[in-house]
Amino acid sequence: MEHIHLDTLTSTNDYAKELLGEHKIVAVSANFQSAGRGRHNNTWVGDSMMNIYLSVGIRHDQGINFNRASLTQAIGCLAVCQALKIFAPESTFFVKYPNDVYAKLLDESTCKISGILTEHSFQGSLCSSSVIGIGINVNQTVFPNDIKDNTTSLKSMGYDIAIDVLTQKVLEILEELLLKTDKFVFEYWIREMNIINKEISIIDEPGVWRVSEVCRDGRLLVNNIDNNTVRYINNGDSIRYDLD
């Protein structure tokens, strides 16, 4: 996989997407991105030369179905989580449904340390390309007020890890996972999320729900504990649950 690193970009996702005309798979990273994106048009916040801003673009020449495309986000989360466990083995990391990685702190609280945003292009019913955007908080220790209570970094956790070394490990693991079968990735993702049978709350909805299944397309099948109502969830921002 070719890896292109630049000082500043508006968005590593956008640049990786541009490069797919000449590359089947390419990694793009930057010291800083001025318009990094999170889910639902949120901004990914980060200072220059403090964190990992990374995207991997993949061109699917034969096209892939929606279920396989949905696993690319899982692959990004799994690669990050596995790399963090290698470099910070004394700490505990969780994959939070569907696209975040959280760390357990010394006070037993959990805080977000990484977010993954995957964007796809489709031709008809088949996905023609995917871009996996990865942000990891490495050395930044001061965050905006609206996220500071729910955000951490490796430096804040007491680790001193070189950004380029961690980036390379994430890419190595991600490339290995891309070669695995859908079944392997899906089952690995389920194990790392550990969400089946957990009780969750849904924002702005009454009651407590239990996760009964993670569907192959990435949705959660949940049922209301009080009245056994069944519904699907496809937005991790709308639910709350204990990661432990």
Per residue in 2-44, pLDDT (tens digit) is 999 999 999 999 999 999 999 999 999 999 988 765 554 556 6
User: Do 129 and 53 sit in the same domain of this protein?
Assistant: yes
What integer pLDDT is reported at residue 40 of this predicted model? 46
Cα–Cα distance measured from residue 69 to residue 121, given in angstroms and rounded to the nearest whole number: 10
User: Do 131 and 222 sit in the same domain of this protein?
Assistant: no
User: Do 205 and 189 sit in the same domain of this protein?
Assistant: no
Give the 3-state secondary structure of residue 86: helix
The contacts of residue 186 (CB under 8 Å, 6+ apart) are: 71, 74, 214, 216
User: Do 70 and 126 sit in the same domain of this protein?
Assistant: yes
User: Do 32 and 66 sit in the same domain of this protein?
Assistant: yes
Tally of domains in the chain = 2
User: Do 226 and 155 sit in the same domain of this protein?
Assistant: no
Burial class for 123, CB neighbours closer than 10 Å (0-12, 13-18, 19+):
exposed
User: Do 28 and 89 sit in the same domain of this protein?
Assistant: yes
User: Do 88 and 150 sit in the same domain of this protein?
Assistant: yes
User: Do 32 and 104 sit in the same domain of this protein?
Assistant: yes
- CA angle, 239 as apex, 233 and 242 as ends, to 5°? 125
User: Do 124 and 11 sit in the same domain of this protein?
Assistant: yes
Q: What residue numbers bound the domain in which 205 lies?
A: 199-240
31 in Cβ contact with 8 (< 8 Å): yes
pLDDT for 226 beyond 70: yes
